[in-house]
Amino acid sequence: MNRQKKKSTNGFRWERKHLLGIAELSTEELALLLDQAENFREVMDRPIPKVPALRGKTIVNLFCEPSTRTRTSFELAAKRLSADTLSIATSSSSFIKGESLKDTARNIEAMQIDMLIIRHSTPGAPKFLSECIKASVVNAGDGSHEHPTQALLDVFTIRRKLKKIVGLNVSIVGDIAHSRVAKSNIFALKKLGAEVTVCGPKTMMPSGIESLGVKVTYDLKEALKGADAVNVLRIQAERQNQTFFPGIREYARMFGITKEKLNKYAKKEILLLHPGPINRGVELSQDAADGEFSVILDQVTNGVAVRMAVLFLLSGIK
Amino acid sequence: MKILIKNGKVIDPAQKIFKQMDILVDNGKIEKVEKNISARSVEIIDAEGKLVTPGFIDMHTHLREPGDENKETVESGLRAAIKGGFTTVCAMPNTKPACDNAQQARYLFERAREIGTASVLPIGAMTKDRKGKEMSEMGDLKDAGVLAVSDDGDSVQDALLMRRVLEYASMLDLLAISHCEDKSLSEGGVMNEGKWSTVLGLLPIPGASESIIVDRDIRLSEIAGARIHIAHVSTRESVEIIRRAKKKGIHVTCEATPHHMTLTDESLGSYDTNLKVNPPLRSDDDVAAIKKGLKDGTIDVIATDHAPHLISEKEKEFDYAPFGMIGLETALALAAEALVEGGHLDWPGLIEKLTSNPAGILKISSGTLAPGSVADITVIDPEKEWVYEENKIVSLSRNSPFKMRKMKAMVTDVIAGGKIVLRDGELVEK
């Protein structure tokens, strides 16, 4: 890979140092990221799925919240680019000894790293770090704020399958209020010209969501009707000590997606996405999760390519 | 020592004075306020082109002593107050331990006397240790000189207890100051609920968590026959509830802070923890309602809610940083920008909310320039442009989102109890 590749066909150049969210990206930046991911997706199918692009760069995964998929995906993406990687999980870190996030990050940086990928339970933590350290910061999910690489891989997966984003109808179903995935998806899809509908219990619909240009419905039928893709969010068990809905049974009945509902209300070729991990039988039934509509495992594969693109582009400016 | 303030434009809202006059101070008191006073062997302050007003009274200050002396002390807090033109500050009781007893209130009076500059009026806690469970010994507090009680920061959640506190306080002629927040609605929240909390993913505090308790406490004070003062009003709904109550003749007063009239929740996009305050910064519409409330008299007082915190506490993830910003040194310039420049109030209208109105609510004799009054005087250069620089902050803490902001209107001189304590913008040390 050479620097030329960082330029898109229309001559647009990547200049951003951190990836903190989708909200701040331009349409050109999004397009360039997706095109770059396409190149890497192709690399992944080669007999030796590895390029030397980031040889000598050091990338640290700082995960202050549990994650398997995202952390593994970033780590693999970095390795496929020949970077040196290191993962730190909260349980083994110094946080329990009372060190602040700022001090932890500055200490890691003092070991001369190039990039820090952070997953944190509090919104704005990646932005805070980007102001504390000189290395590039990648947001791997911050509280209910954003999860930019998840949105990129979702959009990438839809674009690969349906060959476009402009004009598509995409529905997002579930706990919209606490979902960084929903937020980043809304920003990305709207910027790329899709129509977005959000659906879930009213108790899980954040105030002012309409101002982001989405349609709101509390009726799953409405969300499925005419949708080209539906992104189903995980219902987080840890929130159930607070009352957002009466119970799992009613949630599954009203908002859970089953093969039967898809057959009844949705287009025949609808795509079914889920950021994982799935609560089978809650937001997705077994037959829907593993059925012909599901692109859930494609999302995981594409996630590596998308994250390769992110790491590669961000490394460009120092 | 005699002091003569010459050629300034005197604003004394209590006497409805707004004209060019001189003020002679003698023996700690205001001797006379007249045109062209001449006197011998006096220290002269030339106030040409300046405004001369009563010393400001802040109804809402956190001095942090005792308990958090690394954030602020009575001494450092009073230095910040003087720099901002305040000669009296009401010290909120959320110290460690809480100011819920006579001894602690007496300690604050004594510290202020020792320092010998601005005055401190300790606000007593309404309930023991501010826990909202049992009434504090308000009779004792009253005897120690306390004029008002509050559980500031922790709104009393139990309506029956609040009713009894109001009844008991009114028996003692104590003002009840209420920080209005229904914690069951606001729990865990860190910013105003609305579009921006959704975009930023920060847990929301709905406006209703404030206005529900504003409404409750006004209704309870009506039953109790108490004097209630609503602290730091931040929402349109609260302003409207208070306006209606005042029309009905209920004895309610309220205050707004400079930050709630200058900043909105949109600014939190920076995730600057210095913008994390409680009540939170609200929407444009709320800010407009606050300004209107100040203009039509619904909001009586401008108070700072000066809340010092350590840099190390604020340099954290947004969720983990404490609520609060400092405000004594920036209050006048910010309020002048929002209200005078903004065309909502003239200078006397603004000064009233910093002097005679709080004095009237607290039932204290200061806040006026009437001859015979204590000589608490603030001199303002209304045209002076300045920048709020971090290294010039005199508070022990630095937690302000206004650092490096261009300001207009500056406090240049302050006389407290007849002594010059600020001269040409510089603190006069002992």
Mean pLDDT, range B324-352, rounded to an integer = 98
Catalytic residue among B300, B305, B376, B413: B305
Nearest to A206 among B198, B271, B319 (CB): B198
Give residue A4's pLDDT band: very low, low, confident or very high (50, 70, 90): very low
Share of chain A above pLDDT 90, in %: 82
* Closest C-alpha among B23, B53, B62, B26 to residue B41: B26
pLDDT tens, position by position, B167-217: 999 999 999 999 999 999 999 999 999 999 999 999 999 999 999 999 999
Q: B235: which chain A residues are within 8 Å (Cβ-Cβ)?
A: none
Cβ pairs A/B, distance under 8 A:
71
The span from the CA of B149 to the CA of B38, in Å, is 45
Interface check for A185 against chain B (CB to CB < 8 A): the answer is: no
Angstrom distance (rounded) from CA A44 to CA B367: 76
pLDDT band, residue B1 (cuts 50/70/90) = confident
Q: What is the mean pLDDT of residues A174-200?
A: 97
For residues A277-290, average pLDDT = 95
Q: Mark whether A223 and A287 lie in a shared domain.
A: yes
Please tell me which of the candidates B198, B206, B317 has its beta carbon nearest to residue A124: B317
Query: Which pLDDT score, from 0 to 100, does residue B302 have?
Result: 98
Q: What is the mean pLDDT of residues B257-267?
A: 98
Q: Which tokens go with B146?
A: 């306390």
A 209-268 residues inside an 8 A Cβ radius of B: 209, 211-212
**Residue A318 confidence class, pLDDT cut points 50, 70, 90:** very low
A102's enclosing H/E stretch is: helix A101-110
What are the DSSP E strand ranges found in chain A?
58-63, 84-89, 115-120, 136-142, 169-173, 195-199, 215-217, 229-232, 271-273
Longest pairwise C-alpha distance within chain B:
66
Cβ contact, residue pair A143, B201, below 8 Å? yes
Identify whether residues A10 and A141 lie together within a single domain.
Answer: yes
Q: Spell out which residues of chain A touch residue B318, defining contact as CB-CB under 8 Å.
A: 122-125, 128
Q: Do B315 and A212 touch (CB under 8 A)?
A: no
Rounded to the nearest integer, the mean pLDDT of chain A is: 92
A102 interaction partners in chain B (CB closer than 8 Å): 315-316
Q: What is the mean pLDDT of residues B369-388?
A: 98
Residues A86 and A101 in one domain: yes
Alpha-carbon span B259 to B280, nearest angstrom: 10
* One domain for residues A105 and A231: no
Q: Does residue A93 have a pLDDT over 80?
A: no
pLDDT at B299: 98
Task: Spell out which residues of chain B touch residue A211, defining contact as CB-CB under 8 Å.
Answer: 195, 198
Residue B240 has pLDDT above 60, yes or no: yes
The residue ranking higher by pLDDT, A308 or A99, is: A308
Structural domain that includes position A247? 148-299
CA A75 to chain centre: 15
Report the residue count for chain A: 318
Q: What are the φ/ψ torsions at residue A307 (nearest 5 degrees)?
A: -70, -30
Query: Which value does ipTM take for this structure?
Result: 0.91
Q: Is A113 found in the same domain as A241?
A: no
Per-residue pLDDT at A92: 52
pLDDT band at A237 (very low <50, low <70, confident <90, very high): low
C-alpha closest to that of A108 among A76, A85, A127: A85
Do residues A136 and A179 both lie within one domain? no
Share of chain B above pLDDT 90, in %: 99
Alpha helices, DSSP H, located in B192-283: 195-200, 208-224, 236-247, 258-262
Contacts of B306 (CB under 8 A, 6+ apart): B58, B60, B61, B62, B77, B80, B89, B326, B327, B328, B395
> Quick one: pLDDT band at residue B429, thresholds 50, 70, 90?
confident
Cβ <8 Å between A144 and B201: yes
- Kind of pairing between the strands at A58-63 and A271-273: unpaired
> Distance (Å, rounded) from C-alpha A192 to C-alpha A140?
21
Nearest CA in chain A to B313: A100
pLDDT of residue B186: 97
The answer on pLDDT for A1 being more than 50 is: no
Nearest CA in chain A to B199: A145
Give me the CATH topology for the region B53-362. Answer: TIM Barrel (3.20.20)
Q: How far is CA B155 from CA A97, A190, B131, B182, B217, in A?
A: 33, 42, 9, 7, 10
CB–CB contact A128 B318 (8 Å): yes
**Strand B56-61's sheet: what is its strand order?**
B56-61, B86-91, B119-122
* Interchain CB distance below 8 Å, B271 and A23: no
Going by the DSSP 8-state scheme, the letter that residue B228 receives in this structure is E
Instruction: Decide if A125 touches B, using CB distance below 8 A.
Output: yes
Asked if A144 reaches chain B (Cβ–Cβ under 8 Å), the answer is: yes
Q: pLDDT tens digit string along B267-317?
A: 999 999 999 999 999 999 999 999 999 999 999 999 999 999 999 999 999
Mutate to test the interface with B, among A118, A128, A129, A205 (most CBs of B within 10 A): A128
> Are the Cβ atoms of A144 and B196 closer than 8 angstroms?
no
Tell me, yes or no, whether A90 and A194 share the same domain. no
Count: domains in chain A: 2
Distance (Å, whole) CA A48 – CA A56: 19
Chain CA centroid to CA A63, Å: 15
Give pLDDT, residue A100. 87
- Find which of B187, B192, B271 to mutate to test the A interface (most A CBs within 10 Å of its CB): B271
Calculate the average pLDDT of chain B: 97
| Number of residues written out for chain B | 430
Q: What mean pLDDT is predicted for residues B380-407?
A: 98
Domain positions in chain B are: 53-362
| Whether the predicted pLDDT of A197 surpasses 60 | yes
DSSP A267-308: -TT-EEE--S---BTTTB-HHHHTSTTB-HHHHHHHHHHHHH
A19 and A132 assigned to the same domain: yes
Considering the domain architecture, whether residues A288 and A233 belong to the same structural domain is answered as yes
Average the pLDDT over A271-279 and give the result: 96
How far away is chain A from the Cα of B194, in angstroms, using its nearest Cα? 5
Kindly report the nearest CA distance between residue A74 and chain B, in angstroms.
23
Chain A residues closer than 8 Å to B199 by CB: 23, 183, 212
Instruction: For chain A, give the percent of residues with pLDDT over 70.
Output: 92
Instruction: Kindly report the CATH number assigned to the domain that includes residue A121.
Output: 3.40.50.1370
Beta-carbon contacts of B248 under 8 Å, excluding residues fewer than 6 positions away, are none
pLDDT in tens, A59-92: 999 999 888 899 999 999 999 999 999 998 876 5
Put simply, the answer to whether B201 touches A142 (Cβ < 8 Å) is: yes
Task: Report the sign of the C-alpha dihedral through residues B426, B427, B429, B430, in that order.
Answer: positive
Per-residue pLDDT tens for A122-161? 999 999 999 999 999 999 999 999 999 999 999 999 999 9
Q: Which two tokens stand for residue A313?
A: 């582009």
User: How would DSSP label each residue in B25-45?
Assistant: EETTEEEEEESS---SS-EEE
pLDDT band at B146, cuts 50/70/90?
Answer: very high
pLDDT > 60? residue A244: yes
Asked if residue A250 has pLDDT above 70, the reply is yes
Closest CA to B194 of B209, B210, B205, B181: B205
Provide the pairing of β-strand B377-387 with B406-416. antiparallel
Q: How confident is the model at residue A95 (pLDDT cuts 50, 70, 90)?
A: low
Which residues on chain A are in Cβ contact (under 8 Å) with B316?
100-102, 128
The DSSP element (H or E) to which A73 belongs, if any, is helix A69-80
Q: Does A143 touch chain B (CB under 8 A)?
A: yes
Indicate if A9 and A132 belong to the same structural domain.
yes
- Is residue B57 within 8 A of residue B372, CB to CB? The reply is no
- Does the structure show a pLDDT above 70 at A308? yes
Task: State the pairing for strand pair B419-423/B86-91.
Answer: unpaired
Tokens 């603190």 appear where? B427
- What pLDDT score was predicted for residue B329? 98
**B200 vs A127: CB contact, 8 Å cut-off?**
no
Q: What is the mean pLDDT of residues A43-62?
A: 95
Chain position carrying tokens 């920080």: B179
**H-state helical runs in B253-366:** 258-262, 284-295, 311-314, 331-335, 347-352, 356-362
How close are the terminal C-alpha atoms of chain B, in Å?
15
In percent, the amount of chain B with pLDDT more than 70 equals 100
Contacts of A177 in chain B (CB under 8 A): 198
Instruction: Flag if A123 and B316 touch (Cβ within 8 Å).
Output: no
Residue bearing tokens 């407290």: B416
Active site residue B305: yes
Answer whether A206 touches B (CB < 8 Å).
Answer: yes
B198 to A212: CB separation less than 8 angstroms, yes or no: yes
How far is B428 from B430, CA to CA, in rounded Å?
7
Q: Based on the domain organization, do A184 and A292 belong to the same domain?
A: yes
Same domain, A265 and A192: yes
Contacts of A182 in chain B (CB under 8 A): none
Q: What whole-number distance in Å separates Cα of residue B201 and Cα of residue A35?
A: 29
